[in-house]
Amino acid sequence: MQVLDTAARINQQIAENPVILYMKGTPEAPECGFSRQVVETLKQIGQPYAFVNVLAAPHIREKLPQISQWPTFPQLFVKGELVGGCDIVLGLHSEGSLKELLESANAA
Ligand SMILES: N[C@@H](CCC(=O)N[C@@H](CS)C(=O)NCC(=O)O)C(=O)O
C-alpha cells in the first residue's frame, strides 16, 4: 500500500512543518531554475523552512500533485496550506507579503 503510505507521509510533513518547500534538489544545490528562484527568495527573507527533494523521493513527486491539486514543483506550503509555486511565491515577495506570512507561520 505504497500510495496510502506516501499520502500519509506527505500529510504528516505538511502538518509538522509550518513552512515546507517541495522542490527539485536541495536549497544548497537546486536542480531546477524554478526551485532555485524560490530558494533564493526564501534566503533573502531569512526565515527557516523544511524542504523535500522530490527528485530523491519519486513517490512524493508522483503523489503530491494529486493531494495539492498543483501539477508542478516547487510547491510551498505554509501552515498546512499550499501557497503556490515559483510564480506565486515571487509575486508575493515582490508585493511585500511573503516575509510577514513566513514570520507569522514560524512564530505561531
Ligand atoms: N510556473 C511554474 C513553473 C514550475 C514548473 O513548470 N515546474 C516543472 C518543471 S521543474 C515541473 O515541476 N514539472 C513536473 C515534474 O517535473 O514533476 C511555477 O510557478 O512554479
Mean pLDDT across the chain: 96
Looking at residue 2, its amino acid is: Q
The pLDDT value given to residue 15 = 97
Give the count of domains, the chain. 1
Please state the atom number of ligand 1 nearest to the C-alpha of residue 38. Answer: 20
Query: What number is the average pLDDT over the span 34-49?
Result: 98
Is the confidence metric ipTM above 0.95 for this complex?
yes
What's 52's domain CATH number? 3.40.30.10
pLDDT band at 96 (very low <50, low <70, confident <90, very high): very high
Handedness of CA 56, 20, 59, 55 (dihedral sign): negative
The pLDDT value given to residue 9 = 96
Domain residue limits at 6: 2-107
Please state the atom number of ligand 1 nearest to the C-alpha of residue 35. Answer: 10
Query: Contact 19/12 with Cβ under 8 angstroms?
Result: no
Instruction: Note if the pTM is more than 0.90.
Output: yes
pLDDT band at 2 (very low <50, low <70, confident <90, very high): low
